[in-house]
Structure 1
Amino acid sequence: MSDSTDRLELYADYVCPFCYLGKRSLEQYRETREESLEVDWRPFDLRSGKRNPDGSIDHDADDGKDDQYFEQAKQNVRRLQKEYDVEMAQEIATDVDSLPAQQASWYVKQEYPDRWETFDDAIYTALWQDGRDIGDSDVLTTIADDVGLPVDEIRSAIDDDGLRTELEDRFSSAQRRGITGVPTFIAGEQVARGAVPPTQLEALLESTSTGTDAEPGARR
């Protein structure tokens, strides 16, 4: 396998259950892979269309997602849980705001890159395994402390308007690139959308995938 196939971009949002399931699929693939694989997280905000100017979520804003949409999403989550043998504390997290977690994660990715992956995994675990609110700064600083990150720096990052502006620029860049839902996996020119199985990730990195949408679908 060439060096060009050893890097995978992953657009994801912590509050997306399919992103968590997609990461678990990625973990299963990496366990079977002999070569190292660099995963480059690209932040994406599922709630961008519902945010107020101050960054808070307007829960009354109409995003076109009705009860039928969420019921179908839950069914898909349950199906993928069974397929990937993953236990989850909840199927959706509509009341949780991921922006504080994304700000903290973006800071760690830049300042403590060697600890970012551990922090990233811990955020997903807190929400989807333990049912904790990752929009709460106290929860995030506890997670940071648990993985050996400086609590004061993480708390400051969560409140940093400059970091929020950086993230908003990243979100806009994702949209310009044509990213409409998550998770989205990109290897070179090949793309897989949704919580695709390990076999499709393998094909993606071998540049044999067609790059079309995966059947499980992305959360939009």
Structure 2
Amino acid sequence: MTEPLRIDIVSDVMCPWCIIGYRQLAQALDATGVAHEVHWHPFELNPDMPAEGQNTREHIMEKYGSTPEQSAQSRAQMAALGADLGIDFRFTEDMRMHNTFNTHQLLHWAETGGRKHDLKMALFTAHFTDGRDLSDNAVLADVAGEIGLDREEALAVLDDQRFAAEVRKSEDFWIQQGIRGVPAVVFDRQHLVTGAQGAENYKSILTQLTQKAG
């Protein structure tokens, strides 16, 4: 019996292209039927972001030098792509970008019970669809509780920062591998694909990898 294809995904829940890319990959996996296992890894788009965060539109314009028109066009493009993938992007003028170090710690904790993927999906929805403040530990604990995880334990994990060192180590590892932007997807521990590639491109990659393995 052949081993399932290992897929490592480095991402941040503040990144719309990360959920777009994942849904495209999921479509390709469904279409090809490739046996696989997904492993999520942390990346902070904004490690120096202050606690109060920053207006997303202002942040994008500052970081990438885009005009308000370009920013609006990009959001419209993402919303249209998302709609085709079952993602309900609700971009608002007061949407905020936050640091996600605590979010990654909660995801690390969820992995011990095999619920990391479920929590990751719930956090994407909480941010992009429901506009919830993921810099608030109570909100993070609420999201964990809503998918059946222990809310009190989630809050304790965030309060005592017990996984901070492990998350930092994981982040550093991927930076040392040359990851500077997300989504970054590594197939079979050796083939790096960056950005949201589209379902057809992912299908092509999966087909090539399975043919090579076969």
TM bucket normalised to smaller:
0.7 to 0.9
Report the alpha carbon displacement of residue 66 of structure 1 after superposing the two structures with TM: 4.8
Q: 1:4-153 residue pairs with structure 2 within 5 A?
A: 6-48=5-47, 50=48, 56=51, 65-68=63-66, 72=70, 75-84=73-82, 85=84, 86-90=87-91, 94-109=96-111, 111-113=112-114, 115-153=115-153
Deviations 1:126-171 (A, max 9, x none): 1111111122112111111111111111111112334112111111
CA contact (8 A) 1:190 1:207 kept: no
Q: Which amino acid aligns with 2:196?
A: A
**What is the rounded CA distance, in whole Å, between the counterparts of 1:72 and 1:8 in structure 2?**
33
Instruction: Find the aligned partners of 1:186 and 1:58 in 2 and give their Cα distance.
Output: 30
* 8 A Cα contact 1:127 1:133, kept in partner: yes
Residue 192 of structure 2 aligns with which residue? 191
User: For the residues of structure 2 that align with 1:91 and 1:17, how far apart are their CA atoms?
Assistant: 14
Percent identity of the aligned residues? 24
Q: Whole-Å Cα distance in 1 between the matches of residues 125 and 184 of structure 2? A: 20
Find the residue that maps to 2:66 and give its secondary structure: helix
Shift >6 Å, 4+ stretches? none
Q: Which runs of 5+ in 2 are unaligned?
A: 210-214
Measured on the aligned residues, the alpha-carbon RMSD in Å equals 2.9
CA distance in 2, matches of 1:42, 1:30: 19
Query: What one-letter code is carried by the residue in structure 1 that aligns with 2:100?
Result: S
- What one-letter code is carried by the residue in structure 2 that aligns with 1:29? A
Structure 2 distance, partners of 1:105, 1:177, is 21
Higher mean alpha-carbon deviation, 63-72 vs 127-136, is at: 63-72
How has the CA–CA distance of structure 1 residues 44 and 161 changed in structure 2, closer, same or farther, with 3 Å as cutoff?
same
Consecutive unaligned residues of structure 1, counting only runs of 5 or more, are: 209-220
Separation in 1, partners of 2:6, 2:199: 16
> 1:15·1:94 contact (CA, 8 Å) conserved in 2?
no
User: Whole-Å Cα distance in 1 between the matches of residues 137 and 169 of structure 2?
Assistant: 22
Residue 81 and residue 3 in structure 1: after superposition, are their counterparts in 2 closer, same or farther (change >3 A)?
farther
Distance 1:121 1:148, change over 3 A: same
In structure 2, the residue corresponding to 1:3 is in which secondary structure?
A: coil
Q: Secondary structure at the match of 1:68?
A: coil
Q: What TM-score, normalized by structure 1, do the two folds share?
A: 0.77
User: 2: distance between equivalents of 1:67 and 1:119?
Assistant: 33
Question: 1:91 & 1:67 partners in 2: Cα distance?
Answer: 20
- For the Cα contact (< 8 Å) 2:9–2:183, is it kept in 1? yes
Hey, what's the Cα distance between the residues in 2 that align with 1:68 and 1:107?
37
SS at match of 1:100: helix
Cα shift at 1:73: 5.6
Q: Distance in 2 between matches of 1:24 and 1:91?
A: 22
Letter in structure 2 aligned against 1:197: G
Aligned CA distance change for structure 1 residues 74 and 33 (closer, same or farther; 3 Å): farther
- In structure 1, what is the Cα distance between the partners aligned to 2:81 and 2:75? 10
